[in-house]
Amino acid sequence: MELENTRDVTALVDALEKSTELSKTRGRAIKRVCQLSSTDPRQIVSWKFNEWDYGKNNITLPCKARGLFILQDDSSSPYPVIVARGYDKFFNINEMSFTRWDWIEENTMGPYEVTIKANGCIIFISGLEDGSLVVCSKHSVGPRDDTDRNHAEAGEKFLLRQLKERGVSSKELATHLYRENLTAVAEYCDDSFEEHILEYKNDKAGLYLHGLNLNQPTFKTLDMDRVSEFSRKYGFKEIECFIKNDVTSLRKFLEDCATRGSFNGEELEGFVIRSKLGITGETFFFKFKFEEPYLMYRQWREVTKDYITSKSRIFKFRKHKFITNKYLDFVIPLLAKDSKLCEEYLKGFHIIELRNLFLKSYGMTGMEILNHSRLKELELKNSIDYERVDERTKFLIFPISVIGCGKTTVANTLTNLFPNSWGHIQNDDIKGKDKAKLIKNSLELLSHPDMKCVFVDRNNHQIRERKQLFEWVEEFKEDYLSYDTNIKIIGLSFVSYDAFDEIKTLTVDRVLDRGNNHQTIKIDKLGKPKVIGIMSGFWKRFQPVDESKSPDNLFDLVINLNINGKDSSLANSKLILEEIHKTFPVLIPYIPDDKIIEESFQKSLSVKLPVREELHVNNRPDNNLKEKKERLLPVYFSADINVDDMNRVKEEIKKVVELHSNEISGEFKLSIDKLFNENKFQNDFHVTLCHVAQSKRGSAKDQEIWKNYKKHYTKLLKKYANDEEIDKATLKSIKSDDKVSIKFDRLCWDEKIVTIIVKLMISDEDDNDQDCVVDSQGKPVSKLKCANEIPHITIGRLDDEIKAVYSNTLCMKVAEEEGGRDASIQILEFGDNLKPFLANVVIHL
């Protein structure tokens, strides 16, 4: 080895070791010490960085190699030696500013070597001075006890078999590589070991050699002619390569292939393009990956694994909803009768076989399914008939009433008649701050195989409450029921304006007569004036059903009831049975005898309701109850951008989108346009600093951060709790004088949500892992950090069914090794010149 290279490697190792000691994760090296083999105790160190560190302008890495193995304890050399070196990290077209077409045209020169991107696991092959062969996976070499699938050992096993068939010894290959100081970079594609997305069986399986890299700190790779020559000599599979002389012809070729999703009639993942930088002549790689049909294929693979694990097909799909459900219709019966198939699928086998069986049965290829005109046909073919009512249809009943109308008595009467198929969820029984739990519990009960109908027991006396219920059903339905389950919703209107004064008198008498037999309204506890006051509040807010307007026009059936007269709940129960039998005989195929209905009614009157715990905890006296009520408990702490700055946020988003408009494909353009055109922006823009869930299920560090926030804001919480002029029932948040400086980093979006990844700063030395809050005097507040791994702001939900918390998932995809450059996510850099936003710390209750 040349002395200059030896010094460079020594300096590289020193820099890598120093970077392991960085206090922040950004730019920190990750070191893994591996034993060369089970029989060779020599140690090789694998070095890598987090995926999101590569390609960042503000992070300088000691080396950008993805796959770097250094031998440090070889007795033959006192210096560290690079044993194997991968390519410098390279990116997909339009993924970075330097992989935009205009940048490539301006800064690179041809000829452009275009190679087919194999779809397997990367393997590095090199040799040591003594003729030992070294075979590594992306970040490990030798034996491992932390996984049941060792890619390096599998790759080595296949390589030895390949060399034997070629009549070449492993020592000859190792010596060749050592002598020329090279790493052979191959893709191991073999469905008998591990399936990916493309098929590699029989003769197609093997080690596809696509590079020969020099084992030196700076990236240098041999041209494809040398790679092909080496492949033929040692029996590797050759990667097809062809030349495009200019950017125009290169781009046209790649985009034509992407439209078809194939090359020469074969499905591919995409291409890798090798070129030179015009100024320095250095090697410059970029890739061109096809989004489809591989996104769809990966989705099929993941939902199959999820189904095998959970035995539930309750999925919310990002794309390809209809065809994916059609795929599940096909594969579930196959999985149900073959436990071995399920077991092997989870190990990575039969993935392609099941996919191909489905495509064959459907009579289309993956790209034909995705063809625009076929897709419309497919959606029409597989769309849900929301008018259908059959044995699989489920029902929800929403009452519209005020206190004392008899809705709970009616609910109990009906569920007593059909105890195995009708359920009853009472809002008064639900604890906690999650208001949607009423519908979540109802849908969960409705999901039971024998359950046909659930009575959702709440007054729903206001339009907004009915609207809320319909929205919750849409939002959470597929969390509990399969996509093709049709739900019919029946409204029971207990009250009309025509007889409202009479109803007031009647309901007051009923409530006073029943005394304490109610979960929350206790006559002995509250007194008659307080009870009437509560009831009058319902009367003032009451909005009757109007089927000509939303949301009441969404009911599939509205039954108007009459609460006058003795035993009106019995009469109403009979009327409900008759109307449902007439409209939905599948739910009530016959009406029970009057005697049975009356017995059920009497049984419902005898029900004694339980005492609500929160009103009578351990029989504490009233003053203790009052003290308990006055405690304000935080749910989460956030840094909220001021309302006056909201328009500036929107303008900055618009600017960065316009600046990078040539990087944004049609689908992403439609999504970001939807944000503005349909005003999909959130009502506020905030960074969640710490959530109560992290105090319970988070790491020890998260729990400590939560304690620090609670401790710091105890006085402020007590101040508001003891202020008698503040209505605690309506108090949702408390704005503090403390500030956080927020710097926009990346704008990220897919078809569901738009998010900004941010940096939280106290000084120019920004670091999200450090303290980020300053007080009203501008002094840093110790130990107040952001507990989220990736601080971000949810800007807007493009899909109304998606919760804002999905932003966490999107940010993790951006950060993860494979998901960071997911073709389904658009990422734009804001740049360093954007002025930070100043936000107040807000306590949400």
Rounded to an integer, the average pLDDT of 425-435 is: 82
CATH of the domain at 598: 3.40.50.300
For residue 13, is it within any domain?
yes
Identify whether residues 576 and 603 lie together within a single domain.
Answer: yes
Question: Domain for residue 341, yes or no?
Answer: yes
Shared domain for 355 and 460, answered yes or no, is no
- 237-238 and 206-214 strand pairing: parallel
Asked, for residue 264, whether it belongs to a domain, the answer is: no
What's the rounded mean pLDDT across residues 84-101?
89
| Token pair belonging to 35 | 């034993």
Asked if pLDDT for residue 74 goes beyond 90, the answer is: no
pLDDT at 314: 67
Of 138, 27, 128, 136, whose CA–CA distance to 87 is shortest?
138
Kind and range of the H or E run holding 733: strand 733-749
Same-domain status, 610 and 703: no
pLDDT at 220: 92
The residues carrying an active-site annotation are 117
How far from the centroid of its chain's Cα atoms is residue 648's Cα? Answer: 28
**Which domain, by its residues, includes 330?**
294-382
Indicate the helix (H) or strand (E) that contains 262: strand 262-263
SS3 state of residue 728: coil
Q: Are residues 325 and 421 in the same domain?
A: no
Q: Which of 382, 416, 444 is the last residue of a domain?
A: 382
Is 114 a member of any domain? no
Task: Give the mean model confidence (pLDDT) for residues 724-751.
Answer: 85
Same domain, 572 and 675: no
State the CATH number of the domain containing residue 130: 3.30.470.30
By three-state DSSP, how is residue 24 classified?
A: coil
Q: Classify residue 782 by burial, with Cβ atoms within 10 Å: 0-12, 13-18, 19+.
A: exposed
- Same domain? 673 vs 608: no
Express each pLDDT in 780-801 by its tens digit: 888 898 988 889 999 999 887 7
Check whether 304 has a pLDDT greater than 60. Answer: yes
Asked if residue 534 is part of any domain, the answer here is: yes
Checking if the pLDDT of 350 tops 50, the result is yes
Contact indicator for 423, 396 with CB cutoff of 8 Å: no
Last residue of a domain, one of 316, 347, 382: 382
Q: Which residue has the higher pLDDT, 751 or 357?
A: 357
pTM value? Answer: 0.52
What percent of the chain stands above pLDDT 70?
Answer: 84
Of the candidates 332, 351, 382, which is a domain's last residue? 382
Q: Are residues 558 and 695 in the same domain?
A: no
Tell whether 461 and 511 lie within a shared domain.
yes
Q: How much is the pLDDT for 86?
A: 93
What string of DSSP letters covers 408-438?
Answer: HHHHHHHHHHSTTTEEEEEGGG--SS-TTHH
For residues 406 and 546, state if they share a domain.
yes
pLDDT given for residue 474 in this prediction? 80
* 832 domain-assigned: yes
User: In sequence order, which residues have a C-beta less than 8 Å from that of residue 498 and are 6 or more positions away?
Assistant: none
Same domain, 648 and 712: yes
Q: Looking at the structure, do residues 640 and 612 belong to the same domain, yes or no?
A: no
pLDDT in tens, 34-43: 888 767 778 8
> Is residue 111 in some structural domain?
no
Q: Check residue 626 and give its pLDDT.
A: 41
* pLDDT(173) > 90: yes
Region of poorest pLDDT, from 122-136, 255-269, 279-293, 764-778: 764-778
Q: Verify that 365 and 408 share a domain, yes or no.
A: no
Q: What is the pLDDT of residue 125?
A: 96
Beta bridge partners of 273: 114, 286
Residue 568: inside a domain: yes
Structure confidence by residue, pLDDT tens digits, 187-244: 999 888 888 888 888 888 899 999 999 999 999 999 999 999 999 999 999 998 989 9
Q: Output the pLDDT for position 183.
A: 96
Overall domain count for the chain: 4
CATH code for the domain of 789: 3.90.1740
pLDDT digits (tens, 9 = 90+) for 467-512: 889 988 887 887 788 777 889 999 998 876 555 556 655 555 555 5
Structure token pair of residue 807: 């932003």
Predicted local distance difference test score (pLDDT) of residue 619: 36
